[in-house]
Amino acid sequence: MGKKVITEYDSEGSAIRTYESYDDPWGMPPTNSFFQKLTLTKLANKFGTDKGTTTGCCSGFTLLYEHYFEYSRHDKINILEIGLNNGGPEHGENNMNRKIEDFPSIRMWHEYYHKADIWGFDINALKTSDTDLERFRFFQGDQGSLDSYKDFKKVLKQVYNKTSEIFEIIIDDASHAFYHQQLSFINLASLVKIGGFYIIEDTHWQPNEDKTKPGQGRAVFDFRLLPETVDTTTLFDNGGENRAGEGRPLVPNSTSANERFKQLRPEIYNDFVKMREKFEVLDRKPWLDDLWRYPIGQLPKSNLILLRRKK
């Protein structure tokens, strides 16, 4: 196999990352060895996160993440995930004081990125602060609280001596409420490094009081109980067929939705738009020459927003 240097560019032609890869003798796209191509998904299934293909909703997001993240697997990077385990107060107020006993996706990231610092942000406390993950850091905070974001940045300042461009990957897998997603994007997206990723998962689902299970209590994050806003997906043009590394500038998918957002949430509209301009959308669907990555009958679901910072 011949070693070669791969450089990826954003939509404006600026180089955002360079890494070494190898030509595959069978003409497959540059990647890790054939037998390691689904390592992230295997780890997701091992630890029982629904980002994989065997647990819960089986989103298969890891099938897509492997394509974008594998180049940095052996790098010393920083990752932040908001929302550490299913079953929080998004399903009912009786879960507001639950203690998080395990965090499957954090374990997945910790093993996949063996040099990375993995951060978790959740409204619930951990059952014990003494975990077996030596590179894991936890912050208890409320996704809907501006004070929580301020306090979180104070902690980051103490650790990294800065409050911007810290993380290579941020994943919002918290309450899934549109208003919360928009607040998190405004307050956390600046923490993503140039060329890094910001991801909003499970955009198809909203906390809904009409669907809470017996014993879980009122759905305090029901979209009707939070400040009214628009569907987050309508604020991003994330339905294109872009190939890896090409991206597109983010523009409102619906002009009327953008105007409606400005009307409903004028206090956050300008900040959201300014932050949105710093990112480009990446393809969330498999393309023809990359289908070999996926097992027969298994494709990642498309209910997420996948962004990469360009400036």
Work out the average pLDDT over 109-119.
96
Specify if 15 maps to a domain: no
CATH number, residue 263: 3.40.50.150
Work out the average pLDDT over 66-94.
82
DSSP 57: T
3-state class (DSSP) for residue 14? coil
Instruction: Give the per-residue pLDDT at 301.
Output: 73
Nearest CA-CA partner of 100 in 116, 117, 81, 79? 81
Specify if 25 maps to a domain: no
> Would the pLDDT of 141 be above 80?
yes
Rounded CA separation 61/121 (Å) = 20
Nearest CA-CA partner of 166 in 116, 93, 128? 116
Specify if 22 maps to a domain: no
Work out the average pLDDT over 128-153.
91
The tokens describing 306, both together, are 């996948």
Instruction: Give the per-residue pLDDT at 101.
Output: 83
- Calculate the average pLDDT of the chain: 80
The tokens describing 22, both together, are 């190898």
Name the least confident of 68-82, 174-188, 219-233, 279-293.
279-293
Q: Answer whether 290's CB lies under 8 Å from 67's CB.
A: yes
Residue with the bigger pLDDT between 30 and 306: it is 306
> Would the pLDDT of 123 be above 60?
yes
Rg (CA), the chain: 19
Domain hosting residue 199, numbered range: 32-309
Q: Answer whether 106's CB lies under 8 Å from 121's CB.
A: no
**pLDDT category, 223, cuts 50, 70, 90?**
confident
Name the least confident of 28-37, 72-81, 152-161, 289-298.
28-37
> Would the pLDDT of 116 be above 80?
yes
Per-state percent for the chain, helix, strand, coil, to nearest 5? 35, 20, 45
Dihedral pair phi/psi, residue 248, rounded to 5°: -145, 150
Instruction: Give the per-residue pLDDT at 89.
Output: 57
Percent of the chain past pLDDT 70, that is, above it, reads 69
Q: Answer whether 241's CB lies under 8 Å from 287's CB.
A: yes
Work out the average pLDDT over 192-207.
92
Q: What is the pLDDT of residues 273-295, one digit of tens each?
A: 999 999 998 877 655 556 666 66
Instruction: Give the per-residue pLDDT at 156.
Output: 98
Q: What is the pLDDT of residues 260-273, one digit of tens each?
A: 999 999 999 999 99
Instruction: Give the per-residue pLDDT at 256.
Output: 82
Number of domains in the chain: 1
Residue with the bigger pLDDT between 70 and 215: it is 70
Instruction: Give the per-residue pLDDT at 15.
Output: 64
> Would the pLDDT of 245 be above 60?
no
> Would the pLDDT of 161 be above 80?
yes
Rounded CA separation 125/121 (Å) = 10
pTM of the model: 0.81
Specify if 2 maps to a domain: no
